[in-house]
Amino acid sequence: MTTPPAEPIVDQRRFRLAYVPGATPGKWVRRWQQRFPDVPLDLVPCEVADSARLLAEGAVDAAVTRIPRALDLADPGPHHVIDLYEETTVVVVPKDHYLTAAEELNSDDVAEENFLVPLDDALTWACPPGIVLQHRPETTSDAIELVAAGMGLLAVPQSLARLHHRRDLVYRPLVGAPTSRVGLVWRAPTSDLADEFAGLVRGRSANSSRGQEPQPKRTAKEKAAAKRANREAAGKVPGRNYGKSARRGRR
């Protein structure tokens, strides 16, 4: 009787991946499409504050978000986390601002400057730089508009500065500032789909032995038989001396 083929690890559902502004999940999405072309992957854009909530509600299977900021805002319950990369913190300033003369800035350079801290701030500050304005824009996008209007400066992860790029604004690295970590977060207990995506992020190959039973160790008798078979395959006769004495006899 023929044994039917094993069912694939990934079924025919859809995988839903949330991602926050500035995050770049593209390379993992491409890997997924190459590895599992029959399993659609839906990208769900969201704000950092919403990423943990979407996970907790089961609206998405995983999220590429900023940690620990997302988890500080709303605990999604038991979860798994993989750190992906760390972002440089920069200061966004008007293009004609005197601070643009420097290649990078530190806290002393900006100590007398007004800073905008939006309500969706991606950074966790022990002490924000400069003089924090009482008015807090609702979003980073709103804060960018106020920087362009000369209302103050803004410290953000570099990816957000790039995302909100304007010709009248530039940015400089802020040395010593807290940084943002981007990571993959998914719920526990996990699902096959989430496990497969986490495997892609970790670099697991298509031939990974994950989930396979470990092979039993061979006995000494089996090892000896394997060595004898290898010698015979190479044209050598068991028991014959192929060392130095044999070579001397041929001289």
What does the angle CA 67 – CA 68 – CA 69 come to, to the nearest 5 degrees? 85
89-178 CATH, one of 3.40.190.10, 1.10.357.10, 3.40.640.10, 3.40.50.360: 3.40.190.10
Mean pLDDT for the chain?
A: 83
Q: How confident is the model at residue 79 (pLDDT cuts 50, 70, 90)?
A: confident
Q: What are phi and psi of 34, to 5 degrees?
A: -75, -40
pLDDT category at 70 given cuts 50, 70, 90 is confident
Q: What is the pLDDT of residues 31-54, one digit of tens each?
A: 999 999 999 999 999 998 899 889
Residue 240: which pLDDT band, with cuts at 50, 70 and 90?
Answer: low
- pLDDT tens, 185-199? 998 887 899 999 999
Give the pLDDT band (50/70/90) at residue 97. very high
pLDDT digits (tens, 9 = 90+) for 200-230: 999 876 655 443 333 444 556 556 666 676 6
Residue intervals in the chain for CATH 3.40.190.10: 15-86+181-202, 89-178
Give φ, ψ of 64 to 5 degrees.
-95, 105
Q: What superfamily in CATH does domain 15-86+181-202 come from? A: Periplasmic binding protein-like II (3.40.190.10)
* Cα 124 to Cα 137: distance, rounded to the nearest angstrom: 17
Contact criterion met (CB below 8 Å) for 184 and 81: yes
CA neighbours closer than 13 Å in the CB half-sphere of residue 6? 5
| Residue 137 confidence class, pLDDT cut points 50, 70, 90 | very high
Helix (H) or strand (E) run with residue 15 in it = strand 15-19
Distance CA 111, CA 230 (A): 74
15-19, strands of its sheet edge to edge: 41-45, 15-19, 62-67, 180-187, 79-87
